[in-house]
């Protein structure tokens, strides 16, 4: 199979990740639940993962990295821990339902006012509208690091400056950007970064979390057992315990640590991102001139000396054929895995005019080859030619 659905999850994992999970399954106990060698081993594994994630995201305090099952859980933790009754929040039409649905619930149940910044026909965020909407009294600005539909990156440092000028906190959904686009929480002024481990970081599913800048108060959302302060009636206040109720996924975090080690050993975020974007660029150059093929997103700029300016995501449609049918043809005829439909990003599809048809999303990884991309180009060409 030619696997081009990495924005959903990286199926091809480094062998080191697989080995780390298998070893952890047979050796690790429950961190913070005793002083046995297995419990202490789990604690050390989780601590090492915390430190590696902190370095990846430019978070100066590893104890301000709190783990969660995925970025959806992390975003729920951040949003519910920051936004209170009657608050005002600004987000964008680029967002995934992991942002939109928690905000919709807060709007319905707690009177939170939610404003959505629009985009242009290429899916690029309207920064001028952002500046108009982020006014004094705004509690939070929540934005994706890169769209999971178009692959367009967002200038999160500029978003942060706008947010802070109004006294708001800046929350970034890095589901599609962590591991591909460099993130520096201090340098970019980011207050909370939510991430998942099973995409570009090449860890197992069931891993993710949030990194929180010092001085930002995220109230505990999940509460329960922590292994410490058992007689306290309320969730402990110290970091990261305040945001980590229940048993952590030590086995998965062992795999995520191995994924982060693999990333570092192969040139880091810059090398990973440049390869993924280069493969997506090759795909774009091969399909963009095929008659009947519409490609979405901003393909005018790709990379600089600093970092890729997009994620390795390309979405397209072929004529008026349903995206589900095109994706099925690719799988049945050429063994190419893609993802059709709305990608849990309804407002992005409304903005692009693809609500009914959806789009076919191709997404690359470190393991994607030129030969696989060339096969995908030929497959799209044959489908377009009927």
48-85: per-residue pLDDT in tens? Answer: 999 999 999 999 999 999 999 999 999 999 999 999 99
Domain C-terminal end among 196, 230, 264? 264
CB 195 within 8 A of CB 53: yes
C-alpha closest to that of 134 among 83, 169, 174, 84? 169
How many domains would you assign to the chain? 2
Bridge pairing between strands 2-3 and 336-337: parallel
Chain segment 302-342, per-residue pLDDT in tens: 444 444 479 999 999 999 999 999 999 999 999 999 999 99
**Which residue blocks in the chain are alpha helix, DSSP H?**
15-27, 37-57, 71-82, 97-110, 127-133, 156-165, 185-188, 250-265, 268-287, 323-334, 346-352, 370-385
Do 82 and 122 lie in one domain? The reply is yes
Which CATH number is 367's domain given? Answer: 3.90.1150.10
In angstroms, the CA 200 to CA 174 distance is 10
pTM of the model: 0.96
CB 93 within 8 A of CB 116: yes
Q: Given pLDDT bands bounded at 50, 70 and 90, which one contains residue 347?
A: very high
**Rg, Å, the chain Cα set:** 21
- Given 240, 264, 288, the domain boundary residue is 264
- 10 and 198 Cβ atoms separated by less than 8 Å: yes
CA–CA gap between residue 212 and residue 33 (Å, rounded): 25
336 with 375: CB under 8 angstroms? yes
| 256-282 average pLDDT score | 97
- Domain boundary pick from 212, 231, 264: 264
Shared-domain flag, residues 254 and 222: yes
Residue whose C-alpha is closest to residue 211's, from 173, 245, 182: 173
6 with 22, same domain: the answer is: no
Q: Do both 161 and 191 map to the same domain?
A: yes
Same domain, 85 and 198: yes
254 and 207 in a single domain? The answer is: yes
Domain that holds residue 33: 15-264
- Write out pLDDT tens, residues 238-248: 999 999 999 99
CATH number, residue 99: 3.40.640.10
Q: What is the pLDDT of residue 169?
A: 98
Whether residue 361 sits in one domain with residue 227: no
Same domain (yes/no): 88, 142? yes
Angle (deg, nearest 10), helices 370-385 and 268-287: 30
- Cα 5 to Cα 12, 131, 315: the distances in Å are 10, 34, 11
Query: 147 and 259: one domain?
Result: yes
Tell me: do 236 and 314 sit in the same domain: no
Tell me the average pLDDT of the chain.
Answer: 95
Looking at the fold, whether 123 and 160 belong to one and the same domain comes out as yes
Same domain, 328 and 222: no
pLDDT above 60 for 10: yes
């Amino acid at each position: 199979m030619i696997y081009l659905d990495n924005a959903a999850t990286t199926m091809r994992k480094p062998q080191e990740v697989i080995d780390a999970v298998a070893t952890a399954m047979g050796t690790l106990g429950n961190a913070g639940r005793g002083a046995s060698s297995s419990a202490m081993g789990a604690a050390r594994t989780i601590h090492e993962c915390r430190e590696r994630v902190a370095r990846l995201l430019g978070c100066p305090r590893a104890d301000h990295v709190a783990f969660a099952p995925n970025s959806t859980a992390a975003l729920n933790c951040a949003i519910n821990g920051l936004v209170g009754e009657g608050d005002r929040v600004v987000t964008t039409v680029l967002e995934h339902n992991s942002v939109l649905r928690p905000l919709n619930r807060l709007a319905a149940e707690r009177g939170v006012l939610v404003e959505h910044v629009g985009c242009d026909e290429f899916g690029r965020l309207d920064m001028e509208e952002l500046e108009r909407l982020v006014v004094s009294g705004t509690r939070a600005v929540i934005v994706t690091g890169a769209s999971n539909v178009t692959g367009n990156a967002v200038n999160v440092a500029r978003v942060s400056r706008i947010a802070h000028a109004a006294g708001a906190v800046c929350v970034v959904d890095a589901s599609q950007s962590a591991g591909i686009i460099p993130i520096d929480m201090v340098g970019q002024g980011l207050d909370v970064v939510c991430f998942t481990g099973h995409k570009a970081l090449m860890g197992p599913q069931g891993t993710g979390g949030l990194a929180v800048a010092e001085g930002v108060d995220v109230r505990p959302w999940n509460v329960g057992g922590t292994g410490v302060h058992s007689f306290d009636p309320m969730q402990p206040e110290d970091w990261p315990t305040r945001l980590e109720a229940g048993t952590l996924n030590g086995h998965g975090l062992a795999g995520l640590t191995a994924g982060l080690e693999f990333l570092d050993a192969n040139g880091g975020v810059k090398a990973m991102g440049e390869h993924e974007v280069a493969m997506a660029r090759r795909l774009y150059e091969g399909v963009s001139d095929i008659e009947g093929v519409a490609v979405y997103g901003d393909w005018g700029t790709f990379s600089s000396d600093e970092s890729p300016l997009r994620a390795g995501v390309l979405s397209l449609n072929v004529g008026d054929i349903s995206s589900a049918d095109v994706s099925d043809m690719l799988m049945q005829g050429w063994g190419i895995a893609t993802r059709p439909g709305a990608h849990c990003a309804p407002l992005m599809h409304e903005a692009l005019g693809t609500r009914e048809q959806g789009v076919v999303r191709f997404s690359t990884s470190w393991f994607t080859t030129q030969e696989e991309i060339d096969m995908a180009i030929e497959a799209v060409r044959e489908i377009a030619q009927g």
